[in-house]
């Protein structure tokens, strides 16, 4: 009798031991399903217009390729190969996004938010993003020397826009097209990095002609309150040349690379919420209809 009871207990223990892995697998599967549903719900808030992705990825690729070519030709000794590789990785991510949209659109659509977020995080985090040698290599040691003041202003403005990474920070939210709660801290991080990089220590921004432009910029900004009937704010202008340069760069960066992209992003977020309220999106279903099954 005792042997039978012992055998029954051992059999029950064996069955319980066999049930535990099954229960663990079921719990893991349930947790994975909940995580997948939350991820789909979160990604559903991101813009899913593939044509906009094609446009922005292509535009950014064509802008970034000449930038990298100029760095490779002008700064083989100023920059390390690791810094060139970081730029190359950014260009490769852009080109792979264009290729994925072209050849595997449904696969891209399923993973588009994650891919766009990965590009922005990579671009904002690599060390060359705030590299002074990279900035000086692209812009040059001195402003443009054309005989046309207007042409000089255009050329120098473009070079500074690209060299100080304002172009990348300004285009990033339009490439990612994330919800504003994600775009805002990302833009703040990008603004912080380029604002604290020390670009005003480069020779081009210390040049006499560039210093004259910075002085005129501060004069116009200080006199701007006068248009609204308030006293001229000359006392707000920094007292040192480097301080005036940093203030001018921060003002331009805050408007062109922080506020303007977020203002352009807001209507896209509104349209996205409107579509979600009216109809289901591909992210609302477990699997979107696939056209190019070879990319599955």
Say how many C-beta atoms besides its own lie within 10 A of residue 93's C-beta: 19
Give the DSSP letter string of 124-140: HHSGGGG-HHHHHHHH-
Please, are residues 282 and 288 in contact by the beta-carbon 8 Å criterion? yes
Domain that holds residue 237: 48-279
With respect to residue 24, please indicate whether it lies within any of the assigned structural domains: no
Please, are residues 131 and 83 in contact by the beta-carbon 8 Å criterion? yes
Distance CA 48, CA 113 (A): 8
Q: Which of 222, 248, 224, 245 is nearest to 233 (CA)?
A: 222
Measured between alpha carbons, how far is residue 46 from residues 89, 109, 167, 223 in Å? 24, 11, 22, 42
Provide CB contacts within 8 A for 237, sequence distance 6+.
218, 222, 244, 247
Quick one: pLDDT at residue 61? 85
Handedness of CA 166, 64, 201, 192 (dihedral sign): positive
Say how many C-beta atoms besides its own lie within 10 A of residue 53's C-beta: 24
With respect to residue 33, please indicate whether it lies within any of the assigned structural domains: no
Quick one: pLDDT at residue 296? 53
With respect to residue 117, please indicate whether it lies within any of the assigned structural domains: yes
Per-residue pLDDT for the chain (296 aa), expressed as one digit of tens each?
Answer: 555 666 566 566 555 555 544 544 555 456 545 544 554 556 667 777 888 888 888 888 888 888 888 888 766 667 778 888 888 888 888 888 888 888 988 888 888 888 888 888 888 888 888 888 888 888 887 887 767 778 888 888 888 998 898 988 988 888 888 888 888 898 999 888 888 888 998 888 988 888 888 888 878 877 777 777 666 666 667 788 888 898 889 889 999 889 998 888 877 766 666 555 555 444 443 334 444 555 65
Q: Count of domains in the chain?
A: 1
Provide CB contacts within 8 A for 143, sequence distance 6+.
152, 156, 204, 207, 209, 210
DSSP 289: P
Q: For residue 224, which phi and psi values (nearest 5 degrees)? A: -60, -40
Pair of tokens at residue 234:
């000359």
With respect to residue 218, please indicate whether it lies within any of the assigned structural domains: yes
With respect to residue 125, please indicate whether it lies within any of the assigned structural domains: yes
Residue with tokens 């012992």: 6
Q: Is the pTM here over 0.85, yes or no?
A: no
With respect to residue 63, please indicate whether it lies within any of the assigned structural domains: yes
State the DSSP H helix or E strand holding residue 253, giving kind and residue range, or none if neither: helix 241-253
With respect to residue 27, please indicate whether it lies within any of the assigned structural domains: no
Category of 178 on φ-ψ map: left (φ > 0), alpha (ψ -120 to 50) or beta: beta
Category of 177 on φ-ψ map: left (φ > 0), alpha (ψ -120 to 50) or beta: left
Provide CB contacts within 8 A for 93, sequence distance 6+.
118, 119, 122
With respect to residue 32, please indicate whether it lies within any of the assigned structural domains: no
């Amino acid at each position: 009798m005792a042997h039978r009871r012992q055998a029954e207990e051992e059999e029950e223990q064996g069955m319980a031991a066999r049930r535990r892995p099954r229960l663990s697998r079921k719990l893991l599967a349930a947790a994975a399903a909940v995580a997948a549903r939350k991820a789909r719900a979160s990604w559903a808030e991101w813009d899913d217009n593939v044509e906009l992705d094609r446009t922005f990825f292509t535009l950014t690729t064509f802008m970034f390729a000449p930038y990298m070519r100029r760095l490779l030709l002008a700064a083989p000794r100023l920059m390390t190969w690791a810094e060139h590789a970081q730029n190359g990785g950014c260009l490769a991510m852009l080109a792979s996004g264009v290729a994925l949209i072209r050849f595997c659109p449904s696969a891209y659509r399923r993973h588009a938010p994650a891919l766009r977020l990965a590009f922005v995080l990579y671009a904002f985090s690599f060390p060359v993003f705030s590299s002074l040698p990279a900035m000086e290599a692209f812009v040059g040691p001195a402003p443009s020397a054309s005989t046309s003041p207007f042409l000089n202003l255009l050329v120098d403005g473009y070079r500074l826009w690209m060299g100080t990474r304002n172009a990348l920070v300004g285009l990033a939210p339009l490439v990612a097209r994330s919800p504003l709660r994600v775009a805002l801290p990302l833009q703040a991080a990008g603004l912080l990095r380029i604002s604290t990089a020390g670009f005003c220590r480069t020779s081009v921004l210390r040049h006499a002609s560039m210093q004259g432009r910075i002085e005129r910029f501060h004069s116009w900004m200080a006199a701007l309150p006068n248009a609204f009937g308030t006293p001229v704010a000359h006392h707000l202008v920094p007292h040192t040349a480097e301080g005036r340069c940093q203030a001018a760069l921060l003002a331009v960066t805050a408007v062109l690379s922080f506020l303007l992209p977020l203002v352009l992003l807001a209507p896209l977020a509104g349209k996205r919420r409107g579509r979600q309220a009216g109809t289901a999106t591909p992210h609302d279903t477990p699997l979107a209809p696939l056209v190019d099954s070879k990319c599955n």
